[in-house]
Amino acid sequence: MMDNMEVLGLPARRLGNGLIGFGVAGLVVTIILAVVWLGTLVAMQDLDEQLEADREALASALANTSDLMDSTASAIEATTDALGNVGVALDDAASLLDRLSTTTTDLADALNVTILGQQPFAGAAENLEAIATDLETFAGHSGTLAGDIETLGPPLTQLADDLRTVEESVGALAVRVDEFGGVERLVGLVRIYAVLSAVLAAWLAVLAAGCIWAGRQLREAAVTPTVASTETTPTS
């Protein structure tokens, strides 16, 4: 019978069926791998150019951000200096207004004189006293503004220093991104790996086809002895 023929201790027909099944499974896996790697190669067709363009855009954006931070810090420093000058000017104005208020008060007191029982300059003295009061109020406001501006200086200076620190870090990162030129090599290595994987898939396909061919040969070999024995059996 055909199942009595054995190869390596296994029935030839069963071994042939196993080889055919193994070969078919190998072909299916090989086809899947080929499709995956073919899709990878197609997807990576322009990947290196795209990555290079993205790298250049990122480096440019970081450089622009660094320049913007530097300009902002310079503007804040200039503003701090200007505010300092304004504060000094307001403080000087407050001192001047205070002296004017004192002088005006003294002048008003001097005009409050009595001549022959009359105060001919009483009206002018009252006006000067009102002016002195206003000058004193303005002096107080100027002093308050000078103090407020003085308190703004340290936070603005700290903000400018912080911007300088961040600007240095961003600038260094921009230089690193601009100098990073390994994108093309990395993509090239991936492509080589994809090609080698395709070659491996082709080799596996050849092995799978060989298994299918060997399985068919074993099945045919299992059938041939049976046919031959049937033809040579003598009739009684």
**Got the DSSP string for 34-56?**
HHHHHHHHHHTTTHHHHHHHHHH
pLDDT at 2: 43
Domain count, the chain: 1
Q: Which residue has the higher pLDDT, 68 or 180?
A: 68
Residue 224 has pLDDT above 70, yes or no: no
pLDDT 10s digits, 100-122? 888 888 887 777 666 666 666 67
Residue 53, both tokens: 């363009």
pLDDT at 1: 41
pLDDT at 117: 65
pLDDT at 104: 84
| Closest listed residue to residue 195, CA positions, set 48, 44, 41 | 41
**Got the DSSP string for 60-79?**
HHHHHHHHHHHHHHHHHHHH
What is the arithmetic mean of pLDDT over 52-67?
83
3-class DSSP state of 234: coil
Confidence of residue 207 (pLDDT cuts 50, 70, 90): confident
Region of poorest pLDDT, from 60-64, 99-103, 177-181: 177-181
Residue 60 has pLDDT above 80, yes or no: yes
Contact 5, 192 (CB under 8 A): no
Confidence of residue 95 (pLDDT cuts 50, 70, 90): confident
Q: What residue numbers bound the domain in which 170 lies? A: 2-232
Confidence of residue 125 (pLDDT cuts 50, 70, 90): confident
For the chain, give the mean pLDDT. Answer: 76
Percent pLDDT > 70 in the chain is 77
What is the arithmetic mean of pLDDT over 47-54?
72
Distance CA 228, CA 154 (A): 108
Residue 106, both tokens: 């003294």
Residue 11 has pLDDT above 70, yes or no: no
Q: Which residue has the higher pLDDT, 224 or 80?
A: 80
Whole-number CA gyration radius for the chain: 50
Residue 24 has pLDDT above 80, yes or no: yes
